[in-house]
Amino acid sequence: MLLTELLHPGILQALAGAGHGARVLLADGHYPASTATGPRAKTVHLNLAPGLLDVTTVLDVLLRALPVESAHVMVPPEGEPEPPAIAEYRAMLAPVPVETLGRFEFYDAARAPDLALAIVTADTRTYANLLLTIGVRAEGTLRTR
């Protein structure tokens, strides 16, 4: 039995194989995951029904399981307001830098070979996509008996 609250076997396997600088995509329910993910990425579908599991919930669990070095969010075209999900991510990730990318730049970043894991959620919010870069474990974070 694991001591972590993160129990999903596919997510654990992908994270265990990822290292510093690898990326994790948390995709909303609108994201084209079959065509806009990296060639080596493991895709995990958590989209059982619209709205049942959102990016924020997955992010909350992941932040207790891995270090995050930086993040990118997808933003709407210039002149449109920033979606509320992005402010939520900034607050949850602080002080980690959160940079913005336009839709097609975000897709390009998620198609890169350093994407280790794509988690597809049922988030119905628009522009609720998040791309995390895995950091390094801080000294002293390994539990021993």
Tens of pLDDT, residue by residue over 56-104, are 999 999 999 999 999 999 999 999 999 999 999 999 999 999 999 999 9
Average pLDDT of the segment spanning 111-134: 98
Query: How many Å apart are CA 97 and CA 29, to the nearest integer?
Result: 24
pLDDT at 137: 87
H or E element, residue 70: strand 68-75
Is residue 142 scored above 90 in pLDDT? no
Query: How many Å apart are CA 107 and CA 104, to the nearest integer?
Result: 5
Average pLDDT of the segment spanning 22-30: 98
pLDDT at 2: 75
* pLDDT one-digit tens code per residue, 112-122: 999 999 999 99
- CA 118, chain centre distance (Å): 7
pLDDT at 67: 96
User: CB of 141 within 8 A of CB of 65?
Assistant: no
User: CB of 134 within 8 A of CB of 30?
Assistant: no
pLDDT at 55: 98
Query: How many Å apart are CA 2 and CA 114, to the nearest integer?
Result: 27
pLDDT at 139: 75
Is residue 95 reached through a cis peptide bond, with omega within 30 degrees of 0 on the bond before it? yes
Query: How many Å apart are CA 135 and CA 21, to the nearest integer?
Result: 6
pLDDT at 3: 78
